[in-house]
Amino acid sequence: MNIVFIGAPGSGKGTQSREFIEKYKFIQLSTGDLLRSAISAGTELGKEAKAFMDAGKLVPDDIMVNIVKGFLRDNRGKSVIFDGFPRTVSQAKSLQQVLAEQELAIDRVFYFKINPQILIKRLTGRRVCTNCGEIYHIETKPSKKELTCDVCGGSVVHRSDDKEDVITERLAQFENNTGPTIEYYRSTNLLVEIDGSLTPELVFKQIQNVLTL
Ligand code: G5P
Ligand code: MG
């Protein structure tokens, strides 16, 4: 099974992906996480992506599609949660084509619908572990020991694109590019809208209910 989590920055895609890979046999393809790893490793891809990410802009489609192709080649036969990909109509069409070549398809697209005003608070308060990727929030889910991950003891940091001016640009990119992608999936009857403004447990239940139908 292949599912897509689509939603604005901070809508909970990463948080739910972690829940689903723990409880079900999914693997997660987070394009944002792959790009951040490439930046940390100082690869050519990382160098190219950094300027776009720091500015809150989307990394060009051809780069993203190549990353996804490589990931799918390395993970044949596995059930994938696509977290943060596709986020343009062109990426969505490429994904359909790449999956079709392996006689696969997207089964469901979950759209995490949420009021943008909540997102600024979620993102400015978010902290992430640089080692295992665990996601925290300084108010709603603080780590037990400040700056240290409860799960692996790694360093917990504030993401560099979680500054208010960059968040504003990321939200604009979401509206302009990912808005049409959501409509594209609505027209193919794959889209399931869920309320992303609740607690993580209630968001999980909404997705689980659809998957076990
Ligand atoms: P990313 O890394 O994909 P975004 O902007 O799409 O970044 P982000 O910020 O990672 O998405 P999220 O994963 O949706 O948000 O949210 P999250 O981390 O789970 O939760 C955010 C906060 O809210 C946390 O503190 C968490 O504890 C809290 N929270 C979560 N769920 C709930 C809930 O249910 N209830 C409550 N109360 N709180 C909750 O992409 C980064 C950049 O990479 C490039 C772009 O430059 C992009 O800006 N990129 C791409 N470019 C082009 N095409 C692509 N496909 C690209 N993918 C990445
Ligand atoms: Mg994320």
Closest CA to ligand 1's atom 29: 12
- The predicted-structure confidence for 110-166, as pLDDT tens digits, reads as follows 999 999 989 999 999 999 999 999 999 999 999 999 999 999 999 999 999 999 999
Burial class (CB in 10 A: 0-12, 13-18, 19+), 36: buried
Report the pLDDT value the prediction gives residue 213, as an integer from 0 to 100.
59
Q: Is the CB of 39 under 6 A from ligand 1?
A: no
Residue range 2-50, pLDDT digits in tens:
999 999 999 999 999 999 999 998 999 999 999 999 999 999 999 999 9
Q: How confident is the model at residue 212 (pLDDT cuts 50, 70, 90)?
A: confident
Instruction: Return mean pLDDT, the chain.
Output: 96
Q: Are strands 79-83 and 156-157 parallel, antiparallel or unpaired?
A: unpaired
Mean pLDDT computed over 104-110: 97
Which of 10, 8, 5, 6 has the alpha carbon at shortest distance from 140?
A: 10
- What does pTM read for this prediction? 0.98
CA atoms within 13 Å, Cβ hemisphere of 193: 7
Annotated catalytic residue within 18, 36, 122, 126: 126
Ligand 1 atom at minimum distance from 202 CA: 34
Beta bridge partners, 112, equal 7, 194
Give the CATH H-level superfamily of domain 2-116+161-211. Answer: P-loop containing nucleotide triphosphate hydrolases (3.40.50.300)
